[in-house]
């Protein structure tokens, strides 16, 4: 994401990360290394993308965080998959500083982040969205306005919940089909010819077919975290999300088996072992 900003933006881009190798890579693509969060906050538009709610809260609200250094008029955009609650807390803190906030979580995964073809769902005031949309367009091919602060996160959590339920269903289908005599290498090609075809089948199914689960993509432990956020939202709204709860149990089992660092299609291994 930072690489696409650095190579496409008409103005300088600062890069900051606790991982110095990541900063060096961004600098190699034209970014300028930021010294610390105070330096980051000197930008007119600040993008944040961290693992989850805890990190978002820390980056913005802890002592010496972005809110401590925010300048009047700065727009902050959180691309993290976090929670609606933390979106509102951060937005309120920034509003008191005469700053703007948008939640703009990203979807589709690492390959699309590299290609600049992410899906980005945005919660913000309409005029804030209009201002930041061109910058989001450097990182994503589909940038959608969802409504006020928090709604971008709602849609992203629902996106992930549906995706994870699809991945779980694919694992079930693979287990049933192969035990019934269908060649493993053909299951998802054949399903893809019918109405079962989907993004999940084409991308995640390939890893179930090969049995090779990468450790450099969104890990199952992060998927479990996002599903926890979705289930908490469902509980708050009185929705019985039984399907999502089943998937969460499967993620928990995969993590317990030491597979949490691998891409979520690894849930198929729960069926393979049995």
User: Would you list the DSSP string of 204-227?
Assistant: HHHHHHHT---SSSSBHHHHHHHH
Q: What is the pLDDT of residue 272?
A: 87
pLDDT of residue 274: 55
User: In the chain, where are the structural domains located?
Assistant: 2-148, 154-273
Q: What is the largest CA-CA distance in the chain?
A: 65
Which among 43, 55, 50, 56 is positioned nearest to 14, based on CA atoms? 43
pLDDT computed for residue 216 by the predictor: 87
**Cα(105)–Cα(50) distance, integer angstroms:** 10
Please state which CATH number belongs to domain 154-273: 1.10.1040.10
Torsion of Cα atoms, 9 then 132 then 59 then 248, to 10°: -110
Q: Which fold has domain 2-148?
A: Rossmann fold (3.40.50)
pLDDT of residue 259: 97
One digit per residue, pLDDT tens: the chain, 274 residues?
A: 999 999 999 999 999 999 999 999 999 999 999 999 999 999 999 999 999 999 999 999 999 999 999 999 999 999 999 999 999 999 999 999 999 999 999 999 889 999 999 999 999 999 999 999 999 999 999 999 999 999 999 999 999 999 999 999 999 999 999 999 999 999 999 999 999 999 999 999 999 999 999 998 899 999 999 999 999 999 999 999 999 999 999 999 999 999 999 999 999 999 986 5
Q: What is the pTM for the complete model shown? A: 0.92
Return the pLDDT at 33.
97
């Amino acid at each position: 994401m930072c690489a696409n900003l650095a190579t496409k933006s008409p103005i300088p881009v600062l890069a900051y990360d606790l991982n110095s190798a990541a900063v060096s890579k961004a600098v190699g693509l034209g970014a300028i290394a930021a010294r610390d969060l105070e330096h980051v906050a000197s930008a007119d538009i600040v993008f944040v993308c961290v693992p989850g709610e805890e990190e978002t809260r820390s980056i913005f609200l802890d002592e010496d965080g972005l809110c401590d250094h925010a300048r009047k008029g700065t727009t902050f955009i959180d691309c993290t998959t976090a929670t609606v609650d933390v979106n509102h807390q951060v937005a309120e803190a920034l509003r008191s500083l005469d700053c703007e906030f948008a939640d703009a979580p990203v979807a589709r995964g690492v390959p699309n982040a590299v290609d600049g073809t992410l899906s980005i769902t945005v919660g913000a005031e309409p005029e804030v969205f209009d201002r930041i949309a061109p910058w989001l367009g450097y990182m994503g091919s589909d940038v959608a306005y969802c409504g006020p602060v928090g709604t971008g996160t709602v849609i992203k959590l629902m996106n992930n919940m549906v995706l994870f339920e699809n991945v779980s269903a694919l694992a079930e289908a693979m287990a049933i089909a192969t035990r019934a005599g269908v060649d493993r290498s053909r299951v998802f090609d054949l399903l893809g010819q019918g109405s079962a075809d989907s993004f999940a089948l084409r991308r995640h199914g390939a890893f179930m077919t090969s049995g090779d689960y990468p450790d450099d993509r969104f890990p199952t432990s992060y998927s479990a975290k996002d599903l926890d956020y979705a289930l908490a939202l469902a509980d708050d709204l009185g929705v019985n999300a039984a399907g999502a709860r089943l998937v969460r149990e499967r993620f928990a089992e995969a993590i317990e088996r030491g597979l949490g660092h691998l891409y979520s299609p690894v849930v198929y291994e729960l069926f393979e072992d049995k």
